[in-house]
Amino acid sequence: HRGMLYPSSFLPLAEASGFIIEIDKWCLQRAASQLKVWQDRFRMTTPLWMSVNASVSDFSDVGLLELVSGMVVVTGLEPETLVIEITESMLLDNSDQNLRLLTQLRELGVGLALDDFGTAFSSLSYLRRFPFDHLKLDISFIAEVLTSTRTLLLVEEICHLSKSMGMRSIAEGIEQREQADVLRSVGCEFGQGYLFSKPLAAEECEQLLIAQMEP
């Protein structure tokens, strides 16, 4: 009835009611199906991969592992091209349980990303304990890379750490070309943000992929 809504307008209610688990399942299924369609249509040297956010509630759902495993089989996806994003705050509680689940997901071959890296007190301990493939620098770092030498040096070290541990480094919230240039210069591999595109519906996103394929 209300049309397109921003997540902030409905996620708190969805989490409080427990309905967030059903929403996340729907998003995961749609993402996996859409990714497979794009992989089959747009053949690239590096296969397309897609990230899907997980919520705290997902990690209390005993059916998550079975759901992900089933989707990989049904869609025929290469598991590593489906990436599940976890925020640092989600790892604060039930760490042993979370570690088991993340390890099981990793054994399926699914990619794992640590989102908002650098916002919690135990950031480095998470890298030691949990099997992540992608490290996403929090937007607060990116906002300061052009104005703070200390922040830029820290970002550079995080990118080097990420590479040495076999993880992809991803910068969030890039809005200026200068930010992208300086991040690239210190070794950051990937970026996302409004500089590249606003959030798009699948049909609009497909036009970007078509443009990438054109000579």
Give the pLDDT confidence of 35-58 residue by residue, as tens digits. Answer: 999 999 998 888 899 999 888 777
Average pLDDT over residues 96-123: 85
Share of residues in the chain with pLDDT > 70 (%): 95
Closest alpha carbon to 192 in 130, 113, 75: 113
Share of residues in the chain with pLDDT > 90 (%): 55
Q: Is residue 120 predicted with pLDDT exceeding 70? A: no
Crossing angle of helices 202-213/20-41, nearest 10°?
Answer: 30
Backbone φ/ψ region at 144: left (φ over 0), alpha (ψ -120 to 50), beta? alpha
Are 40 and 31 in contact, with CB atoms under 8 Å apart?
A: no
**Which pLDDT value is given to residue 113?**
95
* Tens of pLDDT, residues 191-209: 999 999 998 999 999 998 8
For residue 205 the two structure tokens come to 């996103």
Are 57 and 20 in contact, with CB atoms under 8 Å apart?
A: yes
Q: Is residue 121 predicted with pLDDT exceeding 70? A: no
CA 147/CA 46 separation, integer angstroms: 34
Average pLDDT over residues 141-158: 96
CA 54/CA 47 separation, integer angstroms: 22
Top-confidence range, 79-83, 120-124, 197-201? 79-83
12's enclosing H/E stretch is helix 11-17
Q: Is residue 123 predicted with pLDDT exceeding 80? A: no
